[in-house]
Amino acid sequence: MLKQAACLCLALTFLAPSLLKAEKNASLKPALTKIDKPTQAESFDGKKLGKQWAANKGAWTIEEGTLVGKELPADKHAAVLTWKLPHQNSALRCSFQLKDAKFFHVSLNHPKGHLFRIMIDESGMILRTDKNKKDPKSKPITLAKAKTKLDPNKWYTLQLEMQGDKVVAQIDNGLKVEGQHPSLDSRKTGYRFVMKGKTLLLDDLSAWNLDD
């Protein structure tokens, strides 16, 4: 049993309805804050990614207005793409299609390392803190998970909100996870999109910086 001083976390499991309509760039009601016009938006209309993007691992290309991510065997690592938008409190929305991906993560780092991630695959979604690699006693903590089947050939909309020590993530098919932990109230370096497998599709990215 984990013994964490001053640690408050929600370990919740949701069995979500799978019959709700899922679609590309759906509008989702925020759970933690109000959002209006995005601070940044990306619809991948150009031929190449701009300066705010860094392809850390894998191949990330724009094809017919959609971002395509692919794992490269030579990397011996999941494909990773960073949207360099530093923040502490924010919201992120994106359209995704799993295609051949074994998983899709939205990962958040603090300046000194990994912080937490939203983990999505065909069986559902998990909210989990990351292990502190500099602390041998540190372990990941699952704050919440939601189960339902996702069709790899359908578009879905993911919305992620971060406010203080709280995080809520929801998908437009009814999946929702939420958690609270002191470590979440940290400065984040940007948004990292992580995938493993042959193909992941991303589009319609919007970000709201809520620090002001």
pLDDT digits (tens, 9 = 90+) for 52-81: 999 999 999 999 999 999 999 999 999 999
pLDDT at 49 over 80: yes
Quote the percentage of the chain above a pLDDT of 70. 90
Q: Which residues contact 45 (CB under 8 A, 6 or more apart)?
A: 65
Q: What are residue 196's phi and psi, to 5 degrees?
A: -130, 130
| Structural domain harbouring 162 | 45-209
What total number of domains does the chain contain?
Answer: 1
Residue at 11 is within a domain: no
pLDDT at 123 over 60: yes
Quick one: DSSP state of residue 61?
E
Assess contact for 116 and 108: CB atoms under 8 A: yes
Residue at 26 is within a domain: no
pLDDT at 212 over 90: no
Residue 77 CA to residue 82 CA, distance in Å, equals 15
Quick one: DSSP state of residue 130?
P
Residue 209 CA to residue 87 CA, distance in Å, equals 6
Q: Which residues pair with 61 in a beta bridge?
A: 68
The pLDDT value given to residue 16: 46
Residue 89 CA to residue 123 CA, distance in Å, equals 28
Residue at 33 is within a domain: no
The pLDDT value given to residue 14: 47
The pLDDT value given to residue 21: 63
Residue 58 CA to residue 56 CA, distance in Å, equals 7
Residue at 29 is within a domain: no
> To 10 degrees, the CA torsion angle through 9, 26, 106, 208?
-80
Residue at 110 is within a domain: yes
> To 10 degrees, the CA torsion angle through 16, 126, 77, 116?
150
Residue 193 banded pLDDT, cuts 50, 70, 90: very high
Residue at 39 is within a domain: no
pTM of the model: 0.90
Q: 4-25 pLDDT, tens per residue?
A: 434 444 444 444 444 456 789 9
Q: Which residues contact 194 (CB under 8 A, 6 or more apart)?
A: 78, 79, 80, 81, 103, 104, 105, 106, 107, 117
Residue 103 CA to residue 119 CA, distance in Å, equals 7
- CATH code of the domain covering residue 80: 2.60.120.560
Q: 129-184 pLDDT, tens per residue?
A: 999 877 788 899 999 999 999 999 999 999 999 999 999 999 999 999 999 999 99
Strand 166-171 relative to strand 156-163: parallel, antiparallel, unpaired? antiparallel
Quick one: DSSP state of residue 74?
G
The pLDDT value given to residue 178: 98
Residue 199 banded pLDDT, cuts 50, 70, 90: very high
Assess contact for 40 and 53: CB atoms under 8 A: no
Assess contact for 179 and 10: CB atoms under 8 A: yes
Residue at 5 is within a domain: no
The pLDDT value given to residue 72: 98
Residue at 37 is within a domain: no
